[in-house]
Structure 1
Amino acid sequence: MSDVWPSIDPVLITSLQQLFKTPLQLQAAFDSEEDCYTLLTGHFPDLIDEDVRNASAEMIRWQSVSAPAFKRLRMQSVADGLFVLPSPQGIIDVRDSFSSITQSSTVVVLELASKKRQRKYKDEAPDVRAKKLDAERKKYTVFLANVIKTAKLPVVQIVESLDDPFSGWVHLFAARRANTLKNRYKSWRPFQNWLELHRGRIFPLNCKDIIDYMQFRVDEGCGKTVPESFSIALNLIEVLGRVPEDQQLSKESLWLGHVKSWSAELAADSPPRRPAEMYTVAMIVALELTVEDEFETIFARALAWVVLVMVWGALRCDDIQSVLPHRSHFSRFGLRLLLGKTKTTGPDKPQKEVIAHVHRTISLSGVDWLEIGHDIWKSDAFSYRRDYLVMEPRKDWEGVRRKFVPPSELSSLIRKLLSSLRVPTFRNSRWELAPTQLLLPDGLEMHFSGHSPRNFLTSVAALLGFSKDMRAYLGRWSIGMTSSEEYVRTARQVVYKIQKAVNRSIVEGRDDEYFEDEAIESVCKAAEASGANPNRIRRRHTIMNTLSGHNCLGQVFPTITLAEDDGQVVTETDQDVDPVLLEEDARSMLAATSKSREEKDVGGERQGHSRGVKLHCIVLVDVSGP
């Protein structure tokens, strides 16, 4: 049956046999009568319609009758291709035999494709993050340039007269980041579509166009930031397009008044903006124990270290992917991470680079997670030249691929890690992970976002009394308050003091206690909303107690001590650090810097407040040195 051709005109069969070597190939060439009709008319255009339809009907009948036989043939062909080596006929030597196998065996071809894909991951350029950001920036530069060109704004004639118009359009947008240009284009594109559909043009002529569009969006129920975002996008296009200032619609008082009114109305109707949910202390302890757990997958341990660095360094996902591993440093003082091009820093910004710090002895569980995790990231699999920190893991998380992970995907990886965290328990004077109990079961990891790690240290510091001026150093928000050199010196000391104060408060309490009832209650509400038992979640996350007289973990601070040969240097007294004194100390340094940036800090001692407290002056030591 498999060798039988359809019973149609012999002339047609002869022609079809020249096109299709076997009936199996002809049977696979069409699926319906319409496909068969198209096949015949394409190869035999001179046939009359009646003959074509008769032949199509016969071929469809033949295909239906022969279907079981053809199915067996296809299955046999697949089996032969996968498991049967080619015939040795015509093979002269071993080299020709090898070439024949590699070119014809399906198994070999699939394996070679897999190896090629792996090589592609390994051969990714060291500056892949910078290249992707640059490509993204050029992409939206072209989109916005097309908006200006189609609108025929005055700048078009100037740019097109240049020797290299493409470079002119790229440089027209100055040093604006890719995300900035992307947001401007995303705000402009819906308006352009609306204007073309309703008014038959692609650029507004008067305030009526933009007001009618935004009223349409407001009536539909847009977000509260839409009016302001569109106004900014319109202003960008008009300014770069060199529209005369007296003709710019984005500066019309009528339009600006409408934008403020719409923003107020939408803000009143929208729910209040909430910060990212805070991690609980149990989650921090579980992450530390995960870094130490040798039975855990290597990437889970490495990623747990990254999350802890984000927690204590107040870093976002975008910040951690800006870290330059080859320029970061681990010493007796702690971890010093250098961030390359970020939202506020870069070669085109006043602050070229910024540094994040994590103190050497920071730990809640007594696990030296900072050094253990740093050793993992210095191993051969993780240590290679790149301009980002976290790479893509293998599917089993037992290895990594040398491929850049965007911040959005990193946030998803962190959530997957959180979903596997186990409950920490204190047994035999040490912290352990429960073998089966999950800390965030039933999908509770979705309660936290990529900004949650950054929110922990700043929130606890605020509860302990550190003011906004002090906390500005944690998230590097104080960039610009001082010169670059003074910022690096001041930031390290202030960040270390806050980190140790928060660590001490959680570990042993002392006079400043941290109560995490709000964070735990938020997780319990999320569990209840998803149908889970909130009391079970509360028990698993409540690991602080008041047995020592203070709400804390009930341990001794610091939880880890370094040997003498580690060279631990103490630059402050062992007494409790008063946040008020620290704040005034930082303010005095900023005031001195603003008067004269050339003035150097002098060692020695200074008197405190009227209480007579005597503090050691901040020692300015470069952590990158020995």
Structure 2
Amino acid sequence: MSGTGLGWPALVPPYRNRLEEWFSTPEKLHASFDTREELVSLLRACDNTLLESSLQLIADALLEWHADNARTVASGRRESRRRLTECLPSVPGTGLSLHEHYNQIALQSPLALLPVLRKRKLATDRVVDRGARATEEIRLRQEYALRLAAIMQEAQLPVCKVLAGVSNAEEAWPRLFGTRRSKTLRNRFRAWDKFREWLLYSRGRSYPEGVADVLDYANERFQEGCGKTVLESLQASLSVIEGVGRVPSTQQISQDPTWQAQLKSYTADLVSAAPPEQPASMLTVAIVLACEIFVCTPGEPSYLRALGFVCLLMVWGSLRADDVQGLLPQTMLLDERGLSIDLARSKTTGPDKRTHTVKVFVERSISLTGHDWLKAGYALWKDFDFERDYLVLKANEGFTEPLEKSVPSSTVALYFRKVLSELKTPKREGRTWKANDQRPLLPGYTSSHFTGHSARNFLSSVGAAIDVDPRELDYLGRWKVGGEGSATYIRTSRQVVHRLQSHIACSLVTGQPKHYIEVDSIKALTDYAAKAGESESQVRRRHTLLEGSKGLGGSWPTLALEVGVAAPPSPVEQVSMPGSRGDYFIVTSRTTGLRRLHMLGCYVKPENCYDVKFVSHVGAEDVDNICKDCKARMKAQAGEEESDPSSSDSGSESM
């Protein structure tokens, strides 16, 4: 039994080193004793020179460690048993092994998969954390909720009396803050903590007694030249604490007219004195071309190429760095229509939002250089598509492979800059775009000009410049989700997004029907390069690729796809031709990700479902369960007693 994550006991180095020498692994140490008597005898047998006092101290520490890790070891044993049950041993001397016989039966009838699916679900529910990012969100949310709760308890706000009789107060306090995200609670706590520190040293108390305390603090911060959002953050924190704390509205400082009037006055002065907001720097077309070439260059570090694919996905999917960590890699699919992947968590989607999840689409023929970056990038990420609730993993030192650890969105933005710094200047040789290895596209530290939001605004900005309907541009960034309803967005988004992506890409390549002018974005980049000590003219030459009304030059589409993959058959045609697409189809739930197997002819219609995959053969790794109605039909076809299909729950699939 290995890979349980069990660590060594926390002993001082001489004794811990001896344990590692005697037992080699923590698992062996944990399994070597069950009682104190067994442990004492074992320690004496290993080292008879130990003093009795040292022996008893070591025994106490090991027994405590043994008890604390009992559940971890038990989970590891269950996982080991699960793996054994799914791997039948080979039987020598026969034509086919038991495992091969089992695979044959499973291919002929998916009913044979039921025992494995049942055992796998039970084991997974016990030992696997399906979402490290969601778990971290819950942990941080509870942490900052309890910190804010401590502020209310310290101030003895009315809500404390309400919860005085609650048996499990630790569970009740965090839920007072509703569905506020951990970042929201964190910002409220940080803003209040600074105000509380001022109160302690200036007034000798931890909670304001009246509006005068807030006015004095605001005036002092204003005289210091604070940021334009500092006082607004204080107001937001005050509003949350008083609202959740059940302070009567007539006594709430946040609702005091005098404070609100002064807050507006302070904010207006701070905004007028602050420098104008700068939008995220616009990517140049040369950067997009260089990224495509980079992803398709085998000589570059493999995981850095995979991150280059993420950069292009951010460009064509209009994604922020934070959105990237809400993508579910196990849902990434590349077919005849293009690439699709589920976005489960963003500012407008998530389990506590109206829309739980949406899809991000990239049309299959999208390529400005003729390099099939979608196929190359998809192949790279298929090696890292194990189930998790985030996309980008932590890179090793050389960016050759990832570590199985999540990274925050700030690190994703830094990886974005790392990819940009490695890009080479694209050059055209005949009809082929190649990289000039001797000329970096962004020399020195010029890549710092761009942020994690730069990729998101590229497609919509180019679309607006070439007169695309603004109402349709909202589909690119998924701004339509909240406006017209998630169901309408899901039904129409793929077609609209694909059409817009093709239209914009065609305009960049051919310059028709209207060419894109990127003088402003190149000017901003060259100005930054000059400040960074780089040659302004050199950077301008390397990024100036558009030739006026000719665009990049060439014809559209630039990517020559294989014959027959340009237009997939509709779901209705797929059902009418069962032999051509398989006898089964797998429906993936939009809200839970559950993969349910159906037979053709099931009353669950593929054309009404969100994510459908047609198959001829099914393996245990392909599905999570089987539609009850279809299961009854399978049993009837196999000659078994047919069960009552009226209890089918297959209709619960998210359409």
Instruction: Tell me the TM-score normalised to structure 1 length.
Output: 0.70
Alignment pair present for 1:372 and 2:376: yes
Deviations 1:521-548 (A, max 9, x none): 11100011122110000011111113xx
State the partner residue of 2:90. Answer: none
State the partner residue of 2:183. Answer: 179
Deviations 1:246-288 (A, max 9, x none): 1111111111111111111111111111110011111000000
Q: Secondary structure at the match of 2:533?
A: coil
Deviation at 1:567, TM superposition (A): 4.7
Question: For residues 345 and 518 of structure 1, what CA distance do their matches in structure 2 show?
Answer: 33
Which of 337, 342, 358 pairs up with 1:333?
337
Deviation at 1:480, TM superposition (A): 2.2
Deviation at 1:491, TM superposition (A): 2.1
Alignment pair present for 1:348 and 2:348: no
State the partner residue of 1:44. Answer: none
Alignment pair present for 1:157 and 2:168: no
Deviation at 1:622, TM superposition (A): 6.0
Question: For residues 188 and 347 of structure 1, what CA distance do their matches in structure 2 show?
Answer: 28
State the partner residue of 1:561. Answer: 560
Question: For residues 499 and 185 of structure 1, what CA distance do their matches in structure 2 show?
Answer: 42
Question: For residues 498 and 431 of structure 2, what CA distance do their matches in structure 1 show?
Answer: 27
State the partner residue of 1:226. Answer: 230
Deviation at 1:135, TM superposition (A): 1.1
State the partner residue of 1:202. Answer: 206
Deviation at 1:328, TM superposition (A): 3.1
Deviation at 1:191, TM superposition (A): 0.5
Deviation at 1:134, TM superposition (A): 1.2
Alignment pair present for 1:439 and 2:438: no
State the partner residue of 1:357. Answer: 361
Alignment pair present for 1:454 and 2:453: no
Q: Secondary structure at the match of 1:358?
A: strand
Match of 2:259, as an amino acid? W
Deviations 1:7-58 (A, max 9, x none): xxxxxxxxxxxxxxxxxxxxxxxxxxxxxxxxxxxxxxxxxxxxxxxxxxxx
Match of 1:434, as an amino acid? N
Alignment pair present for 1:504 and 2:503: no
Question: For residues 537 and 163 of structure 2, what CA distance do their matches in structure 1 show?
Answer: 66
Q: Secondary structure at the match of 1:492?
A: helix
State the partner residue of 1:262. Answer: 266
Q: Secondary structure at the match of 1:361?
A: coil
- Superposed, 1:570-589 pairs within 5 Å as none
Match of 1:173, as an amino acid? F
Do the aligned partners of 1:124 and 1:403 also contact (CA within 8 Å) in 2? no
Do the aligned partners of 2:370 and 2:560 also contact (CA within 8 Å) in 1? no
State the partner residue of 1:473. Answer: 475
Question: For residues 213 and 375 of structure 2, what CA distance do their matches in structure 1 show?
Answer: 60
| Bigger mean CA deviation after superposition, 281-290 or 459-468 | 459-468
Deviation at 1:227, TM superposition (A): 1.7
The unaligned stretches of length 5 or more in structure 1 are 1-80, 86-99, 101-118, 572-618
Alignment pair present for 1:287 and 2:306: no
Q: Secondary structure at the match of 2:564?
A: helix
Question: For residues 311 and 403 of structure 1, what CA distance do their matches in structure 2 show?
Answer: 24
Match of 1:349, as an amino acid? K
Deviation at 1:624, TM superposition (A): 4.4
State the partner residue of 1:147. Answer: 151
Alignment pair present for 1:211 and 2:223: no
Which of 387, 391, 394 pairs up with 2:393?
391
Match of 2:185, as an amino acid? L
Question: For residues 265 and 507 of structure 2, what CA distance do their matches in structure 1 show?
Answer: 46
State the partner residue of 1:237. Answer: 241
Q: Secondary structure at the match of 2:375?
A: helix
Question: For residues 550 and 246 of structure 2, what CA distance do their matches in structure 1 show?
Answer: 62
State the partner residue of 1:576. Answer: none
Deviation at 1:447, TM superposition (A): 0.5
Question: For residues 407 and 219 of structure 1, what CA distance do their matches in structure 2 show?
Answer: 34
- Superposed, 1:600-611 pairs within 5 Å as none
Match of 2:554, as an amino acid? Q
Do the aligned partners of 1:280 and 1:516 also contact (CA within 8 Å) in 2? yes
Do the aligned partners of 1:307 and 1:453 also contact (CA within 8 Å) in 2? yes
Deviation at 1:373, TM superposition (A): 0.5
Q: How many residues align?
A: 457
State the partner residue of 1:535. Answer: 537
Question: For residues 168 and 475 of structure 1, what CA distance do their matches in structure 2 show?
Answer: 37
Which of 297, 302, 305 pairs up with 1:298?
302
Seen in structure 2, the aligned counterparts of structure 1 residues 623 and 387 have a Cα distance that, compared at 3 Å, is: closer
Match of 1:444, as an amino acid? T
Do the aligned partners of 1:331 and 1:623 also contact (CA within 8 Å) in 2? no
State the partner residue of 2:546. Answer: 544
Do the aligned partners of 2:323 and 2:345 also contact (CA within 8 Å) in 1? no
Alignment pair present for 1:400 and 2:399: no
What is the alpha-carbon root mean square deviation over aligned residues?
2.3
Question: For residues 301 and 570 of structure 1, what CA distance do their matches in structure 2 show?
Answer: 32
Question: For residues 449 and 429 of structure 1, what CA distance do their matches in structure 2 show?
Answer: 32
Could you list the structure 1 runs, at least 4 aligned residues long, displaced by more than 4 angstroms after superposition: 123-126, 619-626
Q: Secondary structure at the match of 1:325?
A: strand
Q: Secondary structure at the match of 1:312?
A: helix
Deviation at 1:144, TM superposition (A): 0.7
Deviation at 1:620, TM superposition (A): 9.8
| Bigger mean CA deviation after superposition, 301-310 or 457-466 | 457-466
Match of 1:166, as an amino acid? E
Deviations 1:479-524 (A, max 9, x none): 2222322111222222222211110110001121101111111110
Do the aligned partners of 1:187 and 1:226 also contact (CA within 8 Å) in 2? yes
The unaligned stretches of length 5 or more in structure 2 are 1-16, 22-45, 47-75, 77-126, 571-606, 615-655
Q: Secondary structure at the match of 2:327?
A: coil
Instruction: Tell me the TM-score normalised to structure 2 length.
Output: 0.67
| Bigger mean CA deviation after superposition, 300-309 or 383-392 | 383-392
Q: Which of the two has higher C-alpha Rg?
A: 1
State the partner residue of 2:53. Answer: none
Alignment pair present for 1:278 and 2:282: yes
State the partner residue of 2:421. Answer: 419
Deviation at 1:435, TM superposition (A): 1.4
Deviations 1:49-71 (A, max 9, x none): xxxxxxxxxxxxxxxxxxxxxxx
State the partner residue of 2:495. Answer: 493
Question: For residues 518 and 336 of structure 2, what CA distance do their matches in structure 1 show?
Answer: 31
Question: For residues 521 and 483 of structure 1, what CA distance do their matches in structure 2 show?
Answer: 40
Match of 1:490, as an amino acid? T
Which of 225, 243, 246 pairs up with 2:250?
246
Deviation at 1:126, TM superposition (A): 4.2
Q: Secondary structure at the match of 2:386?
A: coil
State the partner residue of 1:189. Answer: 193
What is the identity percentage for the equivalent residue pairs of Structure 1 and Structure 2?
A: 38
Q: Secondary structure at the match of 1:565?
A: coil
Seen in structure 2, the aligned counterparts of structure 1 residues 217 and 268 have a Cα distance that, compared at 3 Å, is: same
Do the aligned partners of 2:348 and 2:482 also contact (CA within 8 Å) in 1? no
Q: Secondary structure at the match of 1:274?
A: coil
Do the aligned partners of 1:329 and 1:624 also contact (CA within 8 Å) in 2? no
State the partner residue of 2:581. Answer: none
Seen in structure 2, the aligned counterparts of structure 1 residues 293 and 224 have a Cα distance that, compared at 3 Å, is: same
Match of 2:291, as an amino acid? L
Question: For residues 508 and 566 of structure 2, what CA distance do their matches in structure 1 show?
Answer: 26
